[in-house]
A and B are shown apart, each in its own frame.
Chain A
Amino acid sequence: MSIAREEVAHLARLSRLALGEEELDHLAGQLDQIISAVARVQEVAADGIPATSHAVPLVNVYRDDVVVPCLGAEKALAQAPAVDQQRFRVPRILAED
């Protein structure tokens, strides 16, 4: 087994996914198989091989410090589930930043 059910439950919490018990069981089994399969990358000897994060190497892409028109509060809030005093209203936050 490459990953235990508890660890999958932990991953779900980290990812903010409130999975039901049956769902968790099912996904845990599948994740176990998938992780075994992808672990194959470890077979490749890659000492000294640099990682690639971009296939086409670009550097130094910038923009000028010039104002561009904003969306406007109306458009910004138009699709919000809850709005109050021109701000996004969200449920009480438990954690501190």
Chain B
Amino acid sequence: MADLAATLVPFDEVVSRYDPLIGLETHIELGTVTKMFCGCPTRFGAEPNTQVCPVCLGLPGSLPVASRAAIEYTIRIGLALHCSIAESCRFARKNYFYPDMPKNYQISQYDEPLCTDGWLDIALDGPQPGGGVEHPRRFRVEIERVHLEEDTGKSQHVGGSTGRIHGADYSLVDYNRAGIPLVEVVTKPVPGTGPLAPQVARAYVTELRDLVRALGVSDVRMEEGSLRCDVNTSLAAKGSEEWGTRTETKNVNSLRSVERAVRYEIERQAAVLDAGGRVVQETRHLQEDTGITTAGRSKEEAQDYRYFPEPDLVPVAPPRDWVEQIRAALPELPSARRSRLLREWGLSDLDMAALRNAGALDLVAETVAAGATPADARKWWLGELSRRANDRDLDLADLPITPAQVAAVAGLVASGTLNDGLARQVIDGVLAGEGTPEEVVAARGLAVVSDDGALAVAVGEAIAANPEVAQKIRDGKVAAAGALVGAVMKATRGQADATRVRQLILEHLSQS
């Protein structure tokens, strides 16, 4: 199937004539030690088929037993999303044939999910597009359900040209991942986003990811597959009462792709509708490299999964006191934390947005916790360290320097041991792996020279070398001292406190 880009209508034009409707289904792999229905470990990266047993292999005669921890983690997610927790619910079998599913059914939940009817507020940062028209910056995404199911194995398709399914000769299947607990969070359709639809989708996934990470139930890494997203998009003509046919774009693997997938579908569907055509209800796949979506299996005849209650498992009826215990133990959620830090640090919304966009919020918070002032912490992370991260094409969090170390450097500057220039050299040293800030200072001899005697020598030499400048200062032109300060700084390789040097120069010259 050729990956041809379809005809598109430019985005701004689309949103002037159509209203987009989005919905998201997000799968989260839980970070429990063992799988959903058996005691196999869930550790990522093991040799193929070494973390399997009769149960997760679906061998004849095997039976599932539900993990209490997985249920607790799911309830945690549900409570953090303001959901109601079911008094009693059941697992169901979702029946279809596929080689990465050893039983050819997946144990999931159907009409009795564990959590229902919640919401997640998201805020969009930065300037708003669609200029001239007022759009709300905050959106409440309503959550339809949060349910629990088991993950499938992984197939590698061999023999085709691109490693994709089409044209492959055969597949190799590894069941290590089969049976890992998977939480599915399904939103209700999100109307009223207008031109912000792509950003809203991205912001929702971001916020959900941060929330789940804060709950400690998953490491939610999209690049490792522990957070997976399917995005539903449809268009309705402005003023129309009916929503359009939606498409589902599957396995969108990064935050940027979430935004791109929505944007592309809006442009593509508009072209279809403008031409008088009908949007086909289908599954589409996003090509990460080109940013276009291509058609997958048609959903005109929706797959009948023949759901029925799982007879090998008994109902899950979480006692209310257990639910309340879980609620009481919820950690501070990201939105609450942001509000608190905003107040504590006295930041503006814009400042806070800058921090979040840079991915620096946690880093700054930890640096403050390690003793730096909020202003210093922000300055270093958004300034020097962001530059370093960009140079190395890394995320801030992946720089080989810890918040505690950054706090230490800020502390050394505050105490006068370092100036800004020296501090930058110390940071270089830490990033280069030379050791802790203190070790780098010592090894490189970077401390500010604070000994007046040594400084006086350097001052005397600078004055002697620049007699005209010195004379100007004696004559009262104090500003000229700047050039002499520069000379002393150069002579001391920057390891002088510039303010003290200036004082010494003036004292020396007014004495003479």
Chain A interface residues toward B at CB < 8 A: 14, 16, 53-54, 58-68, 70-73, 76-77, 84-97
Contacts and interface: CB of A to CB of B under 8 A. Distances in A.
A89 B168 CA distance: 12
Contact of B165 (A14, A64, A89, A93): A93
A85 B174 CA distance: 10
Contact of A90 (B49, B51, B99, B318): B99
A93 B52 contact: no
B168 A61 contact: no
Given A65-B34, A85-B172, A59 B100 contact: no
B170 interface: yes
Contacts of B65: 61-63
Interface in B280-336: 283, 285, 296-297, 304, 309, 311, 313-318
Given A86-B47, A86-B49, A54 B314 contact: yes
B32 interface: yes
B503 interface: no
A77 B49 contact: yes
Interface stretch (B5-13, B37-45, B204-212): B37-45
Chain A binding surface SS class? loop
A95 B48 CA distance: 23
Contacts of B318: 60
B33 A86 contact: no
Contact of B52 (A66, A70, A95, A96): A70
Contacts, number: 130
Given A88-B49, A88-B99, A95-B98, 9 more contacts: A53-B311, A70-B50, A70-B52, A71-B54, A85-B172, A90-B172, A91-B170, A92-B157, A93-B155
A16 B313 CA distance: 26
Given A61-B66, A67-B34, A73-B48, A87 B174 contact: yes
Contacts of A93: 98-99, 155, 157, 165, 168, 171
Contact of A92 (B53, B168, B297): B168
Interface in B149-206: 152, 155-157, 159, 165, 168-175
A62 B33 contact: no
A16 B95 CA distance: 12
B57 interface: yes
B84 interface: no
A66 B342 CA distance: 41
Contacts of A62: 65-68, 71
B69 interface: yes
B88 interface: yes
A60 B98 contact: no
A14 B303 CA distance: 10
Interface string B52-66: 111001000000011
